[in-house]
Structure 1
Amino acid sequence: MNIAVVFAGGSGMRMHTKARPKQFLELNGKPIIIYTLELFDNHPMIDSIVVACIEDWIPFLEKMLRKFEINKVVKIVPGGKTGQESIYNGLCAAEVVADGKDATVLIHDGVRPLITENTIKDNIKKVEECGSCITCIPATETFIVKKENETLEIPSRSDSLIARAPQSFRLVDIMNAHRKAIAEGHNDFIDSCTMMSHYGYKLGTIIGPIENIKITTPADFFVFRAMIKVHEDQQIFGL
């Protein structure tokens, strides 16, 4: 069983939106989160979708799911105070959906709508191979790591990857990691791969599309709008 866990619990402070959170901003009359959910809803290898959403916006999301005929969302749960908590809430719902069956979960940002069908397929296959999959892109600029003693370390660009999403795991493994973190009072993991690495799990990787951005700022939204126009032109003109 393959379950997408999409978290959309953030308020989008960096987007500077006032009327609605960033995941519900519209392009061509469709909210960003619906663009994201359609990718999983249309994918033949995805069985179910769970969404962690800002609680006050759950009725609006339910309305949008009906409007745009998103059929695989089986549960919407309230998001948490942090991204880690929102993901955990979604994973708990996925655990109920799995009902004791072996399951792979693909953890994805609600505001990351530019992945591809192959990205989803490659995540599932990599988890089958080694138990986890972190979608990455190659590093295109130089990283500088600042050490405690003020020295700088510059890793080789050819050996560096940038982690994006989906980040996918066996459900039992990621649940074990989350419950260890809760027991230890560790609530500030920046993402799932950081948590899994901390607890000693092996991480597999795939290379995803370079346009797989997280829409966090107005500039990101403009890129998203441009990419949607490119995709529309490809469909119309066969470019």
Structure 2
Amino acid sequence: MNYALIFAGGVGSRMKYGDIPKQFLTIAQKSIIILTIEKFAENDNIDGIIVVCKDGHIDRLNSQLQDHKIQKVIDVVPGGTTAQESILFGLRRLKEYDENNNIVVIHDGVRPIIDSDLISKNIDAVSKYGSCVTTVSCKETILYRDGSGLNDYSALNRRNCLIARAPQCFKINDVLPAAEKSYAEKLEFIDTYSLMEYNGLKAHLIEGKHSNIKITTFDDYLMAKNLLEKAFDHE
């Protein structure tokens, strides 16, 4: 079985857009989180969806799921204080729901510009290689800071650099123990792939699209709004 774990447990402090969590901002009359969930619900390879939501907004999300008649959502669970903690809570709930060693596709709730083909490619890659992370090429020069001084940095060759994005896809019997171990040791990682690499697992890489941005700032929101509303106009 293949499950999606969509996490949206944050408040969007970098968005600076009132007191509405960024996942509930609207584009084309739907919230960002609903637009994201729909992409997974419509994919034939996804058997069920766990959503991790900001505590205090679960009723709002459940109401929207009902209004938009979205199927496949197994449960909506409260998020933690960090994305890593929220993902762990979602993984725990998924394991409670289905104890088998299933495939889990982990995705940001505020990354709605994802196509069905990329979801399927992630699942296929895990079936063949055991794990998968979506990447895009690096378009700009990256400076690596290797000290605390003003000039302690060096330019990396961008031809050798990739940007890790979502979805990131694993077998639950690999990712859940690693997440539990890191949580117990109070280790913080920027994403699940970094956590898995720390625990000795290298993921197969597949190419994604630069348009599949994470909506973090208001500029990101405007960009995503423009891209999605243009796509809806052409449907």
Name the TM-score, length of structure 2 as normaliser: 0.95
1:183: how far off? 2.8
2:37 and 2:148 map into 1 onto residues whose CA distance is 45
Q: Which residue of 1 aligns with 2:156?
A: 155
Q: Which residue of 1 aligns with 2:126?
A: 127
1:28: how far off? 2.4
Aligned amino acid, residue 57 of structure 2: W
Q: Which residue of 2 aligns with 1:107?
A: 106
1:25 and 1:152 map into 2 onto residues whose CA distance is 37
2:178 and 2:30 map into 1 onto residues whose CA distance is 35
Aligned amino acid, residue 158 of structure 1: R
* Coordinate RMSD, CA, aligned: 1.3
Q: Which residue of 1 aligns with 2:81?
A: 81
Q: Which residue of 2 aligns with 1:50?
A: 50
Number of aligned residue pairs: 233
Could you tell me whether the CA contact under 8 Å between 1:138 and 1:161 is conserved in 2?
A: yes
Could you tell me whether the CA contact under 8 Å between 2:3 and 2:50 is conserved in 1?
A: yes
Could you tell me whether the CA contact under 8 Å between 2:3 and 2:48 is conserved in 1?
A: yes
Aligned amino acid, residue 34 of structure 1: I
2:61 and 2:229 map into 1 onto residues whose CA distance is 24
Q: Which residue of 2 aligns with 1:142?
A: 141
**1:198-213 correspondence runs (5 A):** 198-213=198-213
Aligned amino acid, residue 124 of structure 1: I
Aligned amino acid, residue 159 of structure 1: N
1:6-65 superposed Cα distances (whole Å, 9 cap, x missing partner):
111000111112241000011222111000000000000000000111110000100000
1:149: how far off? 7.6
Q: Which residue of 2 aligns with 1:182?
A: 183
Name the TM-score, length of structure 1 as normaliser: 0.93
2:232 and 2:29 map into 1 onto residues whose CA distance is 15
Q: Unpaired segments of 5 or more residues in structure 2?
A: none
Q: Which residue of 1 aligns with 2:24?
A: 24
Q: Helix, strand or coil for the counterpart of 1:5?
A: strand
Aligned amino acid, residue 146 of structure 1: R
Could you tell me whether the CA contact under 8 Å between 2:49 and 2:75 is conserved in 1?
A: yes
Q: Helix, strand or coil for the counterpart of 1:15?
A: coil
1:86-143 superposed Cα distances (whole Å, 9 cap, x missing partner):
0000011111222x22201111111000011111011101111211111111100111
Aligned amino acid, residue 10 of structure 1: G
Q: Helix, strand or coil for the counterpart of 1:55?
A: coil
Q: Unpaired segments of 5 or more residues in structure 1?
A: none
Could you tell me whether the CA contact under 8 Å between 1:52 and 1:79 is conserved in 2?
A: yes
Could you tell me whether the CA contact under 8 Å between 2:85 and 2:183 is conserved in 1?
A: no
1:188-207 superposed Cα distances (whole Å, 9 cap, x missing partner):
21110110011110111111
1:128 and 1:159 map into 2 onto residues whose CA distance is 27
2:170 and 2:130 map into 1 onto residues whose CA distance is 6
1:53 and 1:165 map into 2 onto residues whose CA distance is 18
Could you tell me whether the CA contact under 8 Å between 2:28 and 2:229 is conserved in 1?
A: no
